[in-house]
Amino acid sequence: MIRDITLGQYYPVDSVLHRMDPRTKLFGTMVFIISLFFAGSLAAYGVATVFLIFVIRLSRVPFGFMVRGLKAILFLLLISVSFNLFLTPGTEVFRLGFLKITWEGLRLAGFMALRLIYLVIGSTVMTLTTTPNQLTDGMERSLGFLKRVRVPVHEISMMMSIALRFIPILVEETDKIMKAQMARGADFESGNLIQKAKNMVPLLVPLFISAFRRATDLAMAMEARCYHGGDGRTKMKPLQYERRDYVGYLVCAGYLAAVVLLG
């Protein structure tokens, strides 16, 4: 039912991309996102497409998984495309009543759609090839310099990894409670909006209670193992750059330069 959420779902295969340091992948994703905002010509989008396909092939994750995340932004995509399509002034191509489509509109809508789709696919590639723990590890290390200005980097990244870790658990829990209430005749599908919201109570109350219970259990388990925050804490697997990471940085930098040059 709610299993379509791909963001934050790791796909376990062995590939260069999977083995890469999370910092490199974070950097790469950032570069890719930035590049999409620089790209304004077909040539630049062409380079972005080639890069994306190259990375997807490298990840060895089936293409179907990449596109799954698009479902979530379908609505947003439709709105932004139609706004751009109909509301951009310029040379007219087609007219239907008060709606008119212009060359500029077509161009803008097309680029906007591509940009959104690539944005989602690009970040999905990262989350599919990086476990949530690696990801927050990478962030903690990359943002370590902020500690000097008293930003609690470790605490934030710990909170993030716990939150990410709990998403699948809560999804599963929701599924279970939903089924249990359906076994008692609950109906989550029919009815109007207010009726539907009311029908959610038997699902949400147990879900919240279980989330709080899990949270206290986890806090207890962490304290029992002497967790006391980030100071002086060592890692079992410290992040370390390998040759593939340097290659990765080079490829990303080269790609960014190409897109910026092509405009």
Binding site for another protein (CB under 8 A): 11-13, 62, 64-65, 176-177, 179-187, 201-202, 205-206, 209-210
Do residues 15 and 60 touch, judged by C-beta distance below 8 A?
yes
CB of 242 to another protein, least distance (A): 26
CB of 198 to another protein, least distance (A): 12
Do residues 127 and 8 touch, judged by C-beta distance below 8 A?
yes
C-alpha Rg value of the chain to the nearest Å: 23
Number of H helices, E strands in the chain: 11, 2
CB of 166 to another protein, least distance (A): 16
CB of 207 to another protein, least distance (A): 9
In whole angstroms, give the CA distance from residue 109 to residue 120. 17
Residue 207 contacts by C-beta under 8 Å, 6 or more apart in sequence? 170, 173, 174, 177
Q: Which is nearer to another protein, 189 or 231 (CB)?
A: 189
Q: Which is nearer to another protein, 65 or 86 (CB)?
A: 65
CB of 222 to another protein, least distance (A): 23
Residue with tokens 């990244």: 157
Q: Which is nearer to another protein, 80 or 210 (CB)?
A: 210
Give the amino acid at 247: V
Q: How far apart are the first and last CA of the chain?
A: 42
Residue 186 contacts by C-beta under 8 Å, 6 or more apart in sequence? 178, 199, 202, 203
Q: Which is nearer to another protein, 10 or 45 (CB)?
A: 10
Q: Which is nearer to another protein, 206 or 230 (CB)?
A: 206
Give the amino acid at 179: K
